[in-house]
């Protein structure tokens, strides 16, 4: 049970709302409210009687005044409904008819127009168009039908109110069209994804995502500006000026983020690597896993995940190891110094027999084998071979096969591998090389 000031506040709020309804032009027309009611109950007198200056609350007097006020509003509301009952029936009938027409239009669009397009175009594209347009079409048809049904009722309103309602109607129609265009970006995304799938570069998908988001953002901005400025009559010049100042401040605050974003754009356009490639730059060596709008993630050879800002990746000298046409294997074989020249020539011949016929070497890239140097403890044979693969694991497998064959053939021929050794001579000895 409210008492004192709480009760007065409650009654004040109720009567404020009732006074607002009573002052509505549709209810306060000259022929809607009796003249006696207008003279007996001037606007605001009920509030003055309740909120008296002494702070006392006359409950009985306030109840009588509130009851009289409510009777006047009920009479005026009843008169208004009596005058516009036919228009109300037109409104409700129009809503039902609009729902029926909306269902018919959607069925016609879905089963007639789309089927005709399906005979000429890709069925997947037709499904995307239907899914994108059907809901905005429902909203637009219902909005038009609702406005046409309510038009006789709206004509009884003051011109200013009718203009507001008409602008809202145009804004809803324009919003439905903008919504349909926004959803049709899925069709654009479908075509772009088909173009991206024609290449083996996974970065094309990231470019498609960037284009789709940019197009959607452009549609939203243009739609909001057009509806606000041209239809609703809202002055957005000040809003745009403020947005420009805020954008400048955000640009200074987020300059690193913006630099990373443009770095990702440069990576997408230049395509120095793809997802899954092994790259090396700035002491970082690993496989690219994700290329985002802010950073690139690389899985190092040790299994660690490296997250590198795109601004640094775009400015760095990148060595794409996966793009090499083949894998180069260079090594040296050292034979002992007591190996005669004939045996050296035989060793080179054996190496050619093994490598030239191996599946890892192609005829276009034959191995290079030569007796190239006299080392401190060995006679050195240099071997350079190119494995015709970019798979590092397969290259290691082929190298093992070749090494086993070399070891077996050299053992059969009696060729000894040298290892680091030193020979010391005494100064007075008979075998001193200086004597």
pLDDT in tens, 394-412: 999 999 999 999 999 999 9
Q: What is the structure's pLDDT at 213?
A: 81
Domain final position from 323, 338, 370: 323
Q: How far apart are CA 105 and CA 138, in angstroms?
A: 8
Q: Is pLDDT above 50 for 109?
A: yes
Clarify whether residues 145 and 284 are in a common domain: no
SS3 321: helix
If you average pLDDT over residues 278-295, what whole number do you get?
A: 85
* DSSP conformational letter for 416: P
Number of domains in the chain: 4
Assign residue 317 the CATH number of its domain: 2.30.30.60
The answer to whether residue 9 is domain-embedded is yes
Q: Is pLDDT above 60 for 77?
A: no
pLDDT tier at 82, thresholds 50, 70, 90: low
The answer to whether residue 433 is domain-embedded is no
The answer to whether residue 393 is domain-embedded is yes
Q: How far apart are CA 232 and CA 226, in angstroms?
A: 9
Clarify whether residues 117 and 240 are in a common domain: yes
Clarify whether residues 12 and 124 are in a common domain: no
Each residue's pLDDT tens digit, 150-169: 777 777 777 887 888 888 88
Q: Is the dihedral of CA 406, 412, 416, 419 positive or negative?
A: positive
Phi, psi of 278 (to 5 degrees): -95, 125
Helix (H) or strand (E) holding 386: strand 379-387
Q: Where are the alpha helices (DSSP H) in 155-254?
A: 159-183, 185-196, 203-226, 237-253
Q: Is pLDDT above 80 for 388?
A: yes
The answer to whether residue 92 is domain-embedded is yes
Q: How far apart are CA 271 and CA 265, in angstroms?
A: 10
Clarify whether residues 334 and 355 are in a common domain: yes
pTM above 0.75, yes or no: no
Clarify whether residues 348 and 373 are in a common domain: yes
Q: Is pLDDT above 80 for 421?
A: no
Clarify whether residues 409 and 344 are in a common domain: yes
Domain final position from 83, 114, 146: 83
Q: What is the structure's pLDDT at 85?
A: 63
CA nearest to 216, candidates 176, 248, 181: 181
Clarify whether residues 103 and 229 are in a common domain: yes
Each residue's pLDDT tens digit, 203-259: 566 677 778 888 888 898 888 888 887 787 777 776 666 667 676 666 666 667 777
Clarify whether residues 332 and 353 are in a common domain: yes
Phi, psi of 257 (to 5 degrees): -65, -40
Give CA angle at 41 (40, 45), nearest 5°. 130
Clarify whether residues 272 and 394 are in a common domain: no
Q: What is the structure's pLDDT at 354?
A: 92
Phi, psi of 2 (to 5 degrees): -80, 140
Assess contact for 320 and 273: CB atoms under 8 A.
yes
The answer to whether residue 390 is domain-embedded is yes
Which is more confidently placed, 255 or 342? 342
Clarify whether residues 63 and 109 are in a common domain: no
The answer to whether residue 313 is domain-embedded is yes
Query: Which of 289-298, 338-347, 378-387 is predicted least confidently?
Result: 289-298
Domain final position from 15, 50, 83: 83
Query: Which of 25-39, 206-220, 221-235, 278-292 is predicted least confidently?
Result: 25-39
Q: What is the structure's pLDDT at 36?
A: 39
Place of tokens 């190496």: 351
The answer to whether residue 427 is domain-embedded is no
pLDDT tier at 83, thresholds 50, 70, 90: low
Clarify whether residues 152 and 21 are in a common domain: no
Tokens representing 193 are 């994804």
Which is more confidently placed, 189 or 27? 189
The answer to whether residue 259 is domain-embedded is no
Each residue's pLDDT tens digit, 116-141: 665 566 667 777 777 788 888 888 88
* DSSP conformational letter for 294: S
Q: Which of 100-104, 196-200, 423-427, 431-435 has the largest mean confidence? A: 100-104
Clarify whether residues 94 and 214 are in a common domain: yes
Q: Which domain holds residue 159?
A: 86-250
Q: How far apart are CA 233 and CA 227, in angstroms?
A: 8
């Amino acid at each position: 049970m409210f008492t004192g000031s709480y009760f007065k506040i409650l009654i004040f709020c109720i009567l404020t709302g009732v006074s607002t309804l009573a002052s509505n032009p549709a209810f306060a027309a000259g022929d809607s409210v009796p003249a006696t009611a207008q003279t007996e109950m001037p606007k605001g007198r009920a509030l003055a009687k309740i909120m008296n200056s002494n702070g006392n609350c006359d409950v009985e007097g306030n109840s009588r005044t509130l009851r009289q006020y409510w009777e006047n509003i009920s009479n005026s509301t009843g008169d208004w409904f009596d005058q516009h009952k036919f228009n109300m029936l037109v409104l409700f009938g129009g809503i039902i008819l609009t729902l029926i027409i909306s269902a018919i239009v959607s069925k016609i669009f879905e089963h007639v127009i789309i089927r005709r397009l399906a005979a000429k175009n890709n069925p997947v594209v037709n499904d995307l168009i239907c899914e994108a347009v059907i809901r905005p079409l429902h909203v637009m048809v219902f909005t038009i039908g609702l406005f046409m049904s309510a038009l006789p009722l709206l004509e009884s309103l003051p011109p200013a109110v009718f203009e507001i309602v008409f602008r809202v109607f145009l804004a809803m129609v324009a919003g439905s069209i903008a919504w349909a265009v926004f959803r049709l970006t899925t069709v654009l995304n479908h075509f772009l994804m088909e173009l991206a799938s024609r290449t083996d570069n996974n970065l094309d998908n990231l470019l498609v995502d960037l284009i789709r988001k940019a197009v959607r953002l452009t549609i939203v901005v243009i739609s909001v500006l057009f509806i606000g400025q041209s239809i609703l009559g809202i002055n957005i010049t000040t809003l745009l000026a403020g947005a420009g100042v805020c954008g400048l401040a955000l640009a200074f605050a987020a300059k690193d983020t913006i630099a990373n974003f443009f770095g990702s754009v440069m990576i997408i356009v230049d395509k120095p690597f793809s997802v899954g490639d092994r790259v090396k730059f700035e002491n970082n060596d690993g496989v690219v896993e994700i290329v985002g709008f802010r950073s690139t993630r690389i899985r190092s050879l040790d299994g660690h995940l490296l997250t590198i800002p795109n601004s640094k990746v775009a400015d760095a000298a990148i060595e794409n190891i996966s793009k090499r046409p083949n894998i180069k294997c260079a090594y040296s074989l050292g034979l002992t110094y007591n190996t005669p020249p004939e045996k050296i020539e035989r060793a080179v011949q054996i190496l050619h027999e093994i490598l030239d016929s191996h599946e890892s070497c192609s005829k276009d890239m034959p191995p290079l084998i030569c007796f190239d140097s006299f080392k401190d403890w060995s006679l050195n044979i240099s071997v350079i071979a190119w494995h015709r693969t970019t798979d590092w694991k397969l290259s290691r497998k082929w190298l093992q096969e070749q090494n086993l064959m070399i070891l077996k053939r050299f053992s059969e021929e009696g060729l000894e591998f040298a290892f680091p050794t030193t020979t010391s001579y005494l100064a007075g000895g008979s075998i001193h090389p200086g004597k």
